[in-house]
């Protein structure tokens, strides 16, 4: 990922908190701070999206709805054009689905591994059924 480096000074107590947070997630300072900033940006610009904690760390999801990776998976199954799958998620507004897909377009690396894991599990089930 290309980008401009940013530096800042923070209070010692905040530095300790951030390092602990990054360590728990297996991130270094750069990756951890980038994740925090990306989550802040999504919170500010895509208000339908929230972050849910899970075994694999925080995952973006539509508030009260499916996770972003699920929306992307269904959209891809319909032709990989990433149009909002409004028929599949009939209780979710088109605007919320649009925000989920926008989140994916902006930050695919945090979502792709969930899609890959789902595909891996699907292949295992197909192999066991054969």
What confidence tens digit (pLDDT) does each residue in 8-48 have?
899 999 999 999 989 988 888 888 888 889 999 999 999 99
Residue at 26 is within a domain: no
Within a domain: 3:
no
pTM: 0.82
Q: How confident is residue 1, by pLDDT bands cut at 50, 70 and 90? A: low
Question: Count of domains in the chain?
Answer: 1
Residues 6+ apart with CB under 8 A from 59: 51, 52, 67, 68, 69, 110, 111, 114
Helices 94-106 and 68-77, axial angle in degrees (round to 10): 100
2 inside domain: no
Domain assignment of residue 107, given as a range: 46-129
CA distance 49 to 68: 8
Residue 25 in any domain: the answer is no
| Contact between residue 62 and residue 48 where contact means Cβ atoms under 8 Å apart | yes
- Residue 22 is assigned to a structural domain of this protein: no
Asked whether residue 59 is assigned to any structural domain, the reply reads yes
Model pLDDT for residues 61-111, shown as the tens digit of each residue: 999 999 999 999 999 888 766 778 888 998 999 999 999 999 999 999 888
């Amino acid at each position: 990922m290309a980008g401009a480096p940013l530096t800042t000074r923070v209070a010692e107590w905040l530095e300790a908190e951030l390092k602990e947070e990054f360590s728990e997630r297996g991130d270094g300072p750069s990756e951890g701070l980038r994740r925090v900033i990306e989550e802040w940006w999504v919170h500010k610009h895509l208000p339908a999206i929230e972050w849910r904690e899970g075994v694999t760390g925080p995952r973006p999801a539509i508030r009260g709805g499916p996770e972003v990776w699920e929306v992307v998976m269904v959209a891809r199954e319909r032709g990989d054009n990433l149009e909002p799958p409004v028929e599949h998620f009939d209780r979710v507004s088109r605007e919320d689905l649009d925000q989920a897909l926008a989140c994916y377009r902006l930050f695919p690396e945090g979502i792709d591994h969930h899609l890959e894991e789902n595909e891996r599990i699907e292949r295992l089930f197909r192999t066991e059924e054969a």
